[in-house]
Structure 1
């Protein structure tokens, strides 16, 4: 579950403060402390400085008319988003040069939505690693600094050869920003090499160049880049391009994940289980390491549907899946159909896996399931567990399935493994 981010909102206008409160009310991942002047904001900061993630501050306050609150927050290393009622280029340049995250003109509901959403974007950026490639120390350091203001993880390289090495050492890099004209290996050649391994949907590449050739953007994109930006660039355009590309990557990841999930419970589906399971199984065979397979299903599930209706049955499946995910989330677990679930537990032999699953069984049996009626229902499950690695994953699951049916024949609400009596 995503951790709630605490922010400080400094705003002297009761109307604006009310709007921000309303916007934040619909955002479950952000909570705010509110101050109406500079003095109160300093007091709140001192009280909550260890938990504050960012600040959303008005530029002009009764006791700080010249943006002193902005300077104060930046001195405390708090990512700061500025709210201002007026705009001019000189003020914009001054604010951006100070190192703020962004500024928002107080023009309407969308402006406040944008500011609050930016806090969420900063939170997500902490998990996004970016590689910056440029042979110019000045240019490279400037881009790295811009990215760090938005809380991205940043690594860098001086040329294409070094960049490929860094990329191989950091497979979690999601965005690469590269200059064109570099020694050893230029940006075009590097992008061509990278695209042999990384698709556009796995790694975003943004090309940069200070040269005036009109066809550079087309050449970069034809060679595999996702986007291009001409130097010198406007900071806001830089952030917009970076954010847009990162969010596109996240949307693709969400679509892929949705394709792997069971629509009702959110656990992995049967297809994904076997795609990943075959790899896990092959590794266990080649490395001669333990791997336990589990087949389980909810006892007497049909009677829940018959007695309380299918909507109640769906509620039970969802709550049951939440318990499985909580207990087995570090392993591969999937809903494979109806009330049946599979799990693979690499590293655990049958005794350890059976004991683990039996603890889950005890948790399920003692947990009331809310089905929307006055009285909750209680369910149990039966499971078969095996650590026998035979020829295929299917064969191992068939053995676990046989153990499951023995558990059912023995009275249900049981876990039976390899060493149980035939």
Structure 2
């Protein structure tokens, strides 16, 4: 549960925010209606108790934004609510390390507040690399990123940045200055884009005003976006959020395309795409590999007795057992009640032990289907790679699976 401190004296605003957040069951608000009550919550729980604070700028006992400075002093990410706004107030707010300021205008203002709270939570797992030879510029950008809870990293030239990117797949965004020694921003971006595993990494160019055509050059070399120095806080955060959300949407689409809608494990199409690549790579390194093809015995009878909903529940449970038994390997639902596992770097003898352990695990597990308890069994065909293609291995495993069915089911048949 993510705790949020809402400091607001308006009962209407409190009611609106609570209503809009009712579907977000992972959010829990503590509500303070004054600066004094805010201090009481902090004294009782400690500053680290709250993931975020949403704070009204003007309270009866803190009319000049004192509560904002109080929360910032405790290093709590703070979103400021204000009923009125002008340029002077805007400048005052942007001098402080607040997450954002929101004018209390309409329902959309409070929806944006909730969006910011969710965004901050997601940002806590996102690594952003700042590549700039200027220590001052790096620290400035890093500080801005950390206000929005990104995990910020630094590199002082393109070569160092490229090395960090290659060693840390968790880096999702790189902010790149053009003028750097050893390797400039353009060369860094081109090198990152040459790596097919990095085709989704967000690359944002930075450069000072006055360099004609710099934004176009960055984008033509593979950057997603460009920021001209000096830039405003608002522009910086809007571009960060826009690019991260675009990446998340792409990842969501790819996940849906690559995973089975029911069990949320990889699907047949993705199995062939990724397993073929991993198998060829393993063969190039001289590693042993095995493929197991398996399906649930008498699955039609399960559907007949418990209905298709019961059959779906059985498939979901089997997928969970697959993860328990083969979590370090690549597995997928091939369709219907059939599953496959690719075991890279494992000789057939050890793969047989794993397959037999999985068969026993399934047989001994009690499944709850439609309010009734039952058990199922699995038949498994297992083959090892001898410089075969993935298609050849799957076809051979399928033949052995058929033999397992013919011999009475609930068994592992290994290539002779």
Kept in 2, the 8 Å contact 1:390–1:396? The answer is no
CA RMSD of aligned residues (A): 3.0
What residue number does 1:350 align with?
Answer: 351
Alpha carbons of structure 1 residues 174 and 136: separation in structure 2 relative to 1, 3 Å = same
Instruction: Give the secondary structure class of the aligned counterpart of 1:12.
Output: coil
Q: CA deviation at 1:222?
A: 2.0
Alpha carbons of structure 1 residues 201 and 87: separation in structure 2 relative to 1, 3 Å = farther
- Structure 1 stretches lacking a partner, 5+ long: none
Kept in 1, the 8 Å contact 2:173–2:202? The answer is yes
Provide the rounded CA distance (Å) in 2 between the counterparts of 1:228 and 1:409.
63
Kept in 2, the 8 Å contact 1:386–1:396? The answer is no
Instruction: Give the secondary structure class of the aligned counterpart of 2:113.
Output: helix
Kept in 2, the 8 Å contact 1:200–1:226? The answer is no
What residue number does 1:368 align with?
Answer: 368
Q: Deviations over 1:243-271 (max 9, x none)?
A: 11111122222222222112333221112
Aligned pairs, number: 411
Instruction: Give the secondary structure class of the aligned counterpart of 2:262.
Output: coil
Kept in 2, the 8 Å contact 1:290–1:387? The answer is no
2:214 paired residue among 206, 209, 216: 216
Q: Deviations over 1:50-95 (max 9, x none)?
A: 5432222222223333222222222222111112222222222222
Q: Is residue 28 from structure 1 mapped to residue 25 from structure 2 by the alignment?
A: yes
Q: Deviations over 1:169-228 (max 9, x none)?
A: 334322121222334443334333433336885122211222323422222222222111
What residue number does 2:10 align with?
Answer: 13
What residue number does 2:112 align with?
Answer: 114
Alignment of 1:113-152 (within 5 A): 113-152=111-150
Which range moved further: 191-200 or 172-181? 191-200
- Structure 2 stretches lacking a partner, 5+ long: none
Instruction: Give the secondary structure class of the aligned counterpart of 1:8.
Output: strand
Kept in 2, the 8 Å contact 1:6–1:54? The answer is yes
Which range moved further: 71-80 or 349-358? 349-358
How does the TM-score come out when normalised to structure 1?
0.86
Moved over 6 A (4+): none
Alpha carbons of structure 1 residues 329 and 113: separation in structure 2 relative to 1, 3 Å = farther
Provide the rounded CA distance (Å) in 2 between the counterparts of 1:275 and 1:121.
32
